[in-house]
Structure 1
Amino acid sequence: MSVIQTQKWLYDFVDRCKEKSIMDMASIQCEILCNPLKKVFPKVNPQAMQYELLNHGLFEPYEWFKTEAIVKEMEKQNIWKIIEKEYQYLSKLWNGPNVPIYIFPIKKGMLGFRKHLRKNGVAYKEAIFLFLSTELSKEEVKAMLAHEYNHVCRINHIKLAPDRTPLKDSLIIEGLGEYAVKELHGEKLLAPWTNLYPFDKAVDIWKRHFLPSLNMMGVKNHQPYLYGQKGSPFPKWIGYYIGYQIVNSYQEKNGPFKNNELYKISTDTFINGSKFPTKE
């Protein structure tokens, strides 16, 4: 199992929406796009899965009228073939697990809204979901897959359930994902948050707020630390920045490593061997 041909699902979704009332769009989306996911996530209710995917970037049901044109353009760009070929390359490079990859259009938001997402992804132990626009270069698509598939490799290696994952592991998972982008595609495709703050400022936040909380369990509890939160001590993307800098500085001090070695290093080894202090 690798890249799922979700374009067939998407065309079916559009055809069904053409026949139904606008009140049915959400249920049609859930039926066609989320019900098949029960094979991979048997314990997750399809409605809960739909809610989860919408939060990560899945197009809104009311955007059905744009979906057909978007999918045709994505097919023209060979998105499914590009991702399939790159996945085969990465799985051999990292000796990683075999997981399904689901590709969907990303939500654009309200009509006329000037800012919209171009890409987003989410990785689980069992699967990857990529939410894409038609505005991405081939290199951007490859870099995004590298980030998300590296997550899958790390998550399967550490074997921790989401509710039993400490904050320190969430930081390293994100840091490794973006370091994989640097290693494979160079600094030009790194996310802006990798260079968002002066290192000294990040170290101060690390000592004050991250060190005392490194063993906090549950990925849902990690969101303010990773993404930042208005009115809190955590600026935007601070946890992502710190995670990347830990991995990057560890590699600089202790590398180089073979392609499939880095994601197998323990979290404590990364932290202790990085430029970040281990005491407040």
Structure 2
Amino acid sequence: MTVVRTDNWIEEAGGDPFKVCTQLIQYFPTASASEIHHHLTMFGMYMSTKQGEELSKKLRKINAWEIISDEMEQLRSKWKGPSVPVFIFPSDSNNKVLVRDFNGKSGLAYKDKLFLFISPHNTETEIRAILTHEYNHVCRLNMFPKREDDCTLLDTIILEGLAEMAVEERFGKASTSFWTSLYSERQLAKFWKEFVYPNRKQLKDSDTHEEVLYGLSRYPYMTGYAVGYYIVRNFLKGTDYRTEDLLTLKSAEIAQL
């Protein structure tokens, strides 16, 4: 496991995000630096040289790299998870949705790497929580391997539900994302029945998968995320299981289908 000192990358590049992303080409061998940056900005990475220079210095002051290194050691030991590189970047402070709904933090997980986009005003607990969520994804993707092209909506919502329950177990309900409290139990049961279950086999590259997951088009906001958390929480009720015990279970088993 390596928490990469991306602050040094940013400093050497004078904050230029495109220059920074040339360092990532080895991790995305079929993409250019500009393509990598475009992709990462969709998930919250900073956009401008000015942001890079200013925000990276502030992240150093709050010891972001040290906090994440410490949390990674704890999580990897607790979950017996894989060793993957962790890349930390300032988040885009001009992204209104990111700031409003996620308090300026987000992440992106792959089977073999992990990205965190954080803000200098994030607390230590928030930083640890977003890492917990994303590293849980990494563990699930390695312990329950499935080709990305074969992943369904059900797989995705269970992935998200597991990750957020892991945050709740580790830091309490107050540290979970806003979408865990958007809807009542009755609403979530209805969303599962009417929106998610009928589309549970939609593949990851389909429009419907994205619409239900994020609550686009006619679907309520963050439908898939909220229902995934609801399903995992209900599965755990009345058991002695923790989320790490579910990492190898099939999605249909967790959804009790």
TM-score, normalised by the number of residues in structure 1: 0.84
For the 8 Å contact 2:180–2:229, the answer to whether it is kept is yes
- The 3-state SS of whatever aligns with 2:45 is coil
Residue 52 of structure 1 is matched in structure 2 by 39
Residue 18 of structure 1 is matched in structure 2 by none
**1:77 maps to which of 62, 67, 78:** 62
Task: Give the superposition deviation at 1:110.
Answer: 7.7
Residue 89 of structure 2 is matched in structure 1 by 104
- The 3-state SS of whatever aligns with 1:56 is coil
Task: Give the superposition deviation at 1:258.
Answer: 5.2
- The 3-state SS of whatever aligns with 2:115 is strand
Distance in 2, matches of 1:43 and 1:160, equals 21
Residue 25 of structure 1 is matched in structure 2 by none
Task: Give the superposition deviation at 1:220.
Answer: 5.7
Task: Give the superposition deviation at 1:260.
Answer: 3.3
Q: Does 1:91 align with 2:79?
A: no
Q: Aligned pairs, how many?
A: 253
- The 3-state SS of whatever aligns with 2:255 is helix
**1:226 maps to which of 203, 210, 213:** 213
Residue 269 of structure 1 is matched in structure 2 by 253
Distance in 2, matches of 1:238 and 1:264, equals 24
Q: Does 1:35 align with 2:19?
A: no
Distance in 2, matches of 1:224 and 1:140, equals 27
For the 8 Å contact 1:93–1:259, the answer to whether it is kept is no
How many percent of aligned residue pairs carry the same amino acid?
Answer: 31
Residue 169 of structure 1 is matched in structure 2 by 155
Q: Which amino acid aligns with 1:135?
A: H
- Of the structure 1 ranges 212-221 and 94-103, higher mean CA displacement relative to structure 2 is found in 212-221
Distance in 2, matches of 1:195 and 1:134, equals 25
Cα pair distance change 1:55/1:259, threshold 3 Å: closer
For the 8 Å contact 2:134–2:163, the answer to whether it is kept is yes
Distance in 2, matches of 1:47 and 1:66, equals 17
Task: Give the superposition deviation at 1:155.
Answer: 1.1
- The 3-state SS of whatever aligns with 2:14 is helix
Distance in 1, matches of 2:248 and 2:100, equals 38
- The 3-state SS of whatever aligns with 1:149 is helix
Q: Which amino acid aligns with 1:39?
A: Q
Cα pair distance change 1:122/1:256, threshold 3 Å: same
Q: Which amino acid aligns with 2:30?
A: K
Q: Does 1:236 align with 2:196?
A: no
Where structure 2 has 5 or more consecutive residues not aligned to the other structure, the ranges are none
CA RMSD of aligned residues (A): 2.1
For the 8 Å contact 2:59–2:120, the answer to whether it is kept is yes
Task: Give the superposition deviation at 1:224.
Answer: 1.2
Residue 110 of structure 2 is matched in structure 1 by 124
User: Counterparts of 1:209-220 in structure 2 under 5 Å?
Assistant: 209-219=195-205
For the 8 Å contact 1:106–1:118, the answer to whether it is kept is yes
Task: Give the superposition deviation at 1:99.
Answer: 0.7
1:130-187 deviation digits (Å, cap 9, x = unpaired): 1111111111100110000001101112222322211100010000000000111111
Task: Give the superposition deviation at 1:12.
Answer: 1.9
Where structure 1 has 5 or more consecutive residues not aligned to the other structure, the ranges are 16-27, 273-277
Task: Give the superposition deviation at 1:47.
Answer: 2.9
Higher Cα Rg, which structure:
1
Distance in 2, matches of 1:248 and 1:36, equals 39
Q: Does 1:8 align with 2:8?
A: yes
Distance in 1, matches of 2:205 and 2:163, equals 16
Distance in 2, matches of 1:247 and 1:265, equals 11
Distance in 1, matches of 2:181 and 2:95, equals 31
Task: Give the superposition deviation at 1:259.
Answer: 6.3
For the 8 Å contact 1:150–1:177, the answer to whether it is kept is yes
